[in-house]
Homo-oligomer: A and B are copies of this chain.
């Protein structure tokens, strides 16, 4: 299934029973088309698992370059190679009030959150802030509710829908004991700074170019620091991440 859900943004459902049975919010899949079909895209592309419905997984994809264009052109019945679920996921760590901050298609992992058994069983309260540049790019709130059960507080930079401003303007950490965030790096940095300042635990789902997705190519390195020793080094986004606690990132 493929559906246009906003400007240049598509909702894709793929049949992948094993992945559907295991995926947790923040984890991703590598989606590609095989090595013998060396056209565009050649390498598979990482995409967050945004929903699980029976044997299907849902992906929220914005057309950016060649890979996302090909993925969103997938036709019903067509096959793709899907490897996953990969990487780390958000950890609730007993939190009671969770603030999720999403920028653009960084919304994807949060859509999976309400149905995730650990969240269901702990019953924590989830508030979701979701920012886009303008109204046309906003994932339809009805569809969002239908897929995830979430009610997003929408921010647009030009004020054309929801609140006017950057999504970070909406961040209020009062009473919050865990911040989860995913989106463009500048936004992640801003959210992280707010959380660190307020002393609230924060986990970030970050992005880096990938080849293998499983830790063999050592390609998706990101600068990190060992919170205990303070030692600087690199971690792999695909296998040490993509979700990192704020204190691990050397930003």
Contact = CB atoms under 8 A, between A and B. Distances in A.
A40 B37 contact: yes
Nearest to A70: B39
A39 B38 CA distance: 6
Contacts of A40: 37-39
Contacts of A38: 39-40
Interface residues of A, number: 4
Interface string A26-45: 00000000000111100000
Interface string A14-56: 0000000000000000000000011110000000000000000
A43 to B, nearest CB: 13
A32 to B, nearest CB: 13
A240 B38 CA distance: 34
A218 to B, nearest CB: 27
A38 B37 CA distance: 11
A77 to B, nearest CB: 13
A47 to B, nearest CB: 21
A5 B38 CA distance: 29
6 contacts: A37-B39, A37-B40, A38-B39, A38-B40, A39-B39, A39-B40
